Amino acid sequence: MLRYLTAGESHGKAIIAILEGMPAGLRIDLAKVNHELKRRQQGFGRGKRMQIEKDRAEILSGLKNNITLGSPLALLVKNKDFSIEKLQKVLCPRPGHADLAGLLKYGFTDIREVLERASARGTVATVGIGALCKIFLGEFKINVSSRVLSIAGNDSALGMKAVISEVIKSKDTVGGIFEVKATGVPVGLGSYVQPDKRLDGRLAQAIISIPGIKAVEIGLGLGYSVSFGSEAHDAIYRGYSRKTNNAGGIEGGISNGEDIILRACMKPICTLMKPLDSVNIKTKKPSKAAVERSDICVVSAAGVVAESACAFVLTDLMLDKFGSDSLRDIKENYRNYLKRIS
């Protein structure tokens, strides 16, 4: 089983991740990891923090001569803005953020103690882990990518840019929809035998856990609700080929060999420069919500994070199906499997 744990606060010393279960014998190119971290920092509508940070990973364990040993990989990304001890208290919870629920749950008297860990800065860890998984998947010619489909309902490149520009001027924030696509995925990952083994269930869980993600659909998704069975399902032709992919590459919780396609919706960032009504947690009097440095639109960065979440799930299921100790053995099993189903 592939598993990971992350640690780190937004303005703490570093973001840390430990990945356990990666097989021995995989060459890790750190430049590829750093490339993914850089992609996460980009996109029109990013805030000032991204001009401060230059996210770069160090791998502290699990490698010898850049080859995995099968032991846990520990990844560290240092924060340049390490100001957690100096930052002032936050007293007015931002609607939509973890602020109020987190404060009440843990019994804090300063919202900063919630937001430091709830921050989407933690997605650095997801992307670091995802980058390692993408390197593994690359050995099997599996590729995971993403693209922004719309921002506030605008689906042209010009329209998306224009709406973000407007929102920057009006000091608001905006969300949108992105798509993740995985190509080269073999038939047979995941299973219908238990709910927690279903590929669609695993992907949905991994993606909706990304901060700000409010909906996930696979393939035709919500479109199934307005379609007839005769037009919605992907007919099977000679050589088990398909002319359509409404299923988004998954049938019965198992990859069917077509591209895996899913879409997710990200809500607008909830730190507003023109804040909503809130209540001061000390005085209990009405007040405007806290204003913190933040972003305007991060849909494209969320797409990069979702690629990583998807890469992790696919890697775990590849290891589940083809073995988990040595890359050489896994490749041999993979080749034999492809021969059997061809």
- Give contact residues for ligand EPS (rule: CB under 6 A): 10, 47, 49, 81, 119-121, 123, 269, 271, 292-295
| Residue 122 beta carbon to ligand EPS: minimum distance, rounded to whole angstroms | 8
User: Least Å distance between CB 45 and ligand EPS?
Assistant: 11
Nearer CB in complex with ligand EPS: 3/89: 89
Q: Which is nearer to ligand EPS, 22 or 304 (CB)?
A: 304
Q: How far is the CB of 319 from ligand EPS (least distance, A)?
A: 29
SS3 labels along the chain: CCEEEEECCCCCCEEEEEEECCCECCECCHHHHHHHHHHHHCCCCCCCHHHHCCCCEEEEECEECCEECCCCEEEEEECCCCCCCCCCCCCCCCCCCCHHHHHHHHCCCCCHHHHHHHCHHHHHHHHHHHHHHHHHHHCCCCEEEEEEEEECCECCHHHHHHHHHHHHHCCCCCCEEEEEEEECCCCCCCCCCCHHHCHHHHHHHHHHCCCCEEEEEECCHHHHHHCCHHHHCCCEEHHHEECCCCCCCEECCEECCCCEEEEEEECCCCCCCCCCEEECCCCCCEEECCCCCCCCCCHHHHHHHHHHHHHHHHHHHHHHHHCCCEHHHHHHHHHHHHHHHC
State which residue, 111 or 281, has the beta carbon closest to ligand EPS.
Answer: 111
Pair of tokens at residue 50: 């991204």
Least spacing, CB of residue 217 vs ligand EPS, in Å: 23
Residue among 81 and 139 whose Cβ is closer to ligand EPS: 81
Sequence-separated (6 or more) residues with CB below 8 Å from residue 142? 182, 183, 184, 185, 314, 318
Of 39 and 49, nearer to ligand EPS (C-beta) is 49
Q: For residue 277, what are its two tokens?
A: 């009504």
CB of 15 to ligand EPS, least distance (A): 9
The nearer residue to ligand EPS, 270 or 327, going by C-beta atoms, is 270
Least separation in angstroms between residue 63's CB and ligand EPS is 25
Cβ distance to ligand EPS smaller for residue 254 or 302: 302
Closer residue to ligand EPS in complex, CB, 133/298 = 298
- Residue 282 CB, nearest approach to ligand EPS (Å): 22
Rounded to a whole number of angstroms, the minimum distance from the CB of residue 211 to ligand EPS is 6
Q: What tokens were used for 178? A: 């992105």
